[in-house]
Chains A and B, each alone.
Chain A
């Protein structure tokens, strides 16, 4: 599903180098490492927001550096992304923000794809569907972001510090939703430095932990 061979990324100064990893369908991964180690860059490369400076990165069997802008846009429709800062259109209500991926994919009807009400209910936001994003709490924003990320039924869900701004109770609630998605066969990759969250998750699902240190990624042992 995500294959990296000798992938490197540089912002002028090299941040990541010699990444070799294979993430298969239905797996659950945590990506850990200190702040600034390259977790966000790693995820951004996975959904085509950043192109590796060298190496081969393929997602869904397609070599990312060789894709056109439109092809990258189509790839993002098969990849659900949850950001720490969520990124909503503040002038649209929660329901419209969640439905955004459906609308930009030029599908005319929501009912063809997913029942928006069911999705809102699943993430516990049915009562907030008409609220504007700035009116939501941190936890509500994260759940809305998750709903938006999965509305297109993507095969991969990439979450960048999804619990960074929310309390432990809300973090548990969010991670349970992600575990449920993983049980449905979705691949989940979460960048986090919250070890409690990792331990909590590993109690329910076979999650692997990738640690970024010294510019490269290594599979962490069972000490976590």
Chain B
């Protein structure tokens, strides 16, 4: 209890008892800053991957494309038949035949602009939006097979699922990275505590001589580490948020790393990360120092 009190209540003596070593102070501070930077960035990446997965899952889940590929002579009649079938199918909110310009726009990324689409044997594409109840995919396929054999219904499942899986893998890797960084923080604090106690044996001897308990001695060390880690991680989180601001906006389709950002409550991670550092370094340093002090007779 006294140890916790010493952490939060300013006490000039507790703060001064352990001499400040410039090198270890800077090392702890900047290591914490770097770790916090990585964590905030990983968090932003995980949230971006999650948003991407949900976006692909939600926006494309309710849409499908019907492709009518028939000889030129039959193309119009087959298209009309397909539109007729769609109009009679329950669960379809809307459907629309794509215009030639829209199809040209779809081909533009591969063939460039001004493709003479009229001279090519292009299939007709019908965009389908289902209503909240959805339509019977198997039933529609069977009807199309019977009435419009040249029509192929593509509900995007084939390529949507691998993308969603990939996005969730990135999401998982992001959180795994966060866990690993926190593990490194624990390892770092254990080593720093051990080094600090070992290089301050004389301080420990004097404190024991005047009646300091192990909890008091541990608090004097832990307090320093916890504050250094806290302020370092605040700097790291701030730098990470600045970097996220500087990344290209999502609308910029020509840029890479678009969409890696924090939104709404996700910004609270900028507070959660330094606080987690404080709690983690406090607990790690306290457990390590008490364990080391117990072994020092």
Question: A residues touching B (Cβ–Cβ < 8 Å)?
Answer: 49, 69-70, 73-77, 81, 83, 87-89, 91-92, 96, 99-101, 103-106, 148, 152
Q: Which residues of A contact B210 (CB under 8 A)?
A: 76-77, 100-101, 104, 148
Q: Which of B205, B212, B215, B216 has the largest number of chain A CB atoms within 10 A?
A: B212
Instruction: Identify the closest chain B residue to A104 (Cβ).
Output: B212
In the complex, A81 Cα to B211 Cα: how many Å? Answer: 10
Please state if A103 and B14 are interface contacts (CB–CB under 8 Å): yes
- Total A-B pairs in contact (CB under 8 Å)? 63
Main secondary structure, interface of B, reads: helix
25 contacts between A and B (CB under 8 A): A49-B209, A70-B213, A70-B215, A73-B208, A73-B214, A74-B213, A76-B208, A76-B211, A83-B209, A87-B202, A91-B16, A92-B16, A96-B13, A96-B16, A99-B13, A100-B206, A100-B207, A101-B210, A101-B211, A103-B13, A103-B17, A104-B210, A104-B211, A104-B213, A106-B2
List residues of chain A with CB within 8 A of the CB of B213: 69-70, 73-74, 104
Bits for B63-88, please: 1 = Cβ < 8 Å to A, else 0. 00000000000000000000000000
B interface with A by C-beta (< 8 Å): 2, 11, 13-14, 16-17, 19, 202-203, 205-216, 294
Measured in the bound complex, the distance between the Cα atoms of B19 and A96 in whole Å is 13
Top 3 nearest A-B pairs (CB, nearest first) are A77-B211, A104-B212, A76-B211
Chain B contacts for A77, CB-based, 8 A: 210-211
Instruction: Select B206's contact among A74, A87, A99, beta carbons within 8 Å.
Output: A87
Min CB gap A100→B, angstroms:
5
Closest Cβ of chain B: how far from A5's Cβ, in Å?
24
A70 partner residues in chain B, CB cutoff 8 A? 213-215
Cβ 8 A contact of A105, one of B19, B209, B211, B294: B211
Contact B16 A104 (CB under 8 A): no
Pick from A73, A87, A88: contact of B212, CB below 8 A: A73
Please name all residues of chain A whose beta carbon is closer than 8 Å to the beta carbon of B203 when the two chains form the complex.
Answer: 89
Q: What's the Cα separation between A146 and B279 when bound, in Å?
A: 40
Which B residues touch A105, using CB under 8 A? 211
In the bound complex, residues from chain B placing their C-beta under 8 Å from that of A73 are 208, 211-214
Most buried by B among A49, A73, A76, A77: A73
Given A89-B17, A103-B14, A106-B2, the answer on whether A69 and B214 have CB atoms closer than 8 Å is yes
CB distance from A60 to the nearest CB of B (A): 13
**Are the C-beta atoms of B216 and A152 separated by less than 8 Å?**
no
Between B14, B205, B216, the greatest number of chain A beta carbons within 10 A of the residue's beta carbon is seen for B216
Chain B neighbourhood of A106, CB < 8 A = 2, 216
